[in-house]
């Protein structure tokens, strides 16, 4: 496991988060394409936490990266109100863009960039686990 990082729940923390995740995933031996996909998923997840979870209030986000039996896991934790992204239905991607419902594409994007996504709410903390199998 690579040393976890905790940052303020602000968009200005994203470069630090992404640099940490990129370095950690490379250290753990993840191939470049998989690192890029996980970077995009983490970027989307943390952005959602900041903008929608904390919605302008102060908070924190903690990330950790570790090897698993099948690849790597990035664990993202926050103390925003509970939100289970795994329960978000897949968006309707059919039809005209201007006729589709707004929202839901971020979680869809995370699903597409990862091999598995798990969520739990534990002791007042959202715990989102993103997995990439290699």
pLDDT mean over 84-111? 71
The pLDDT of residue 64 is above 50: yes
Residues 6+ apart with CB under 8 A from 27: 2
CA distance linking residue 80 with residue 38, whole number of Å: 22
* Domain span including residue 110: 2-133
Residue 100's CATH number: 3.30.565.10
Question: pTM of the predicted model, to two decimals?
Answer: 0.89
Choice between 42 and 95, residue whose per-residue pLDDT is larger: 42
Q: How confident is the model at residue 100 (pLDDT cuts 50, 70, 90)?
A: very low
Question: What is the pLDDT at residue 104?
Answer: 56
pLDDT in tens, 4-26: 999 999 999 999 999 999 999 99
Question: What is the pLDDT at residue 97?
Answer: 52
Number of domain units in the chain? 1
CA distance linking residue 56 with residue 31, whole number of Å: 35
């Amino acid at each position: 496991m690579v040393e976890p990082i905790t940052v303020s729940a602000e968009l200005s923390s994203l470069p630090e988060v992404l640099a940490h995740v990129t370095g950690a995933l490379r250290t753990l031996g993840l191939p470049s394409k998989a690192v890029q996909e996980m970077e995009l998923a983490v970027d989307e997840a943390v952005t959602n936490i900041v903008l929608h979870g904390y919605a302008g209030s102060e908070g924190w986000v903690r990330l950790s990266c570790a090897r698993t039996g099948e690849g790597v896991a990035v664990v993202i934790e926050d103390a925003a109100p509970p939100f289970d992204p795994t329960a978000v239905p897949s968006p309707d991607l059919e039809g005209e863009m201007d006729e589709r419902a707004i929202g839901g594409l971020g979680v869809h994007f995370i699903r597409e960039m990862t091999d598995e996504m798990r969520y739990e709410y534990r002791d007042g903390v959202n715990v989102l686990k993103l997995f990439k199998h290699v």
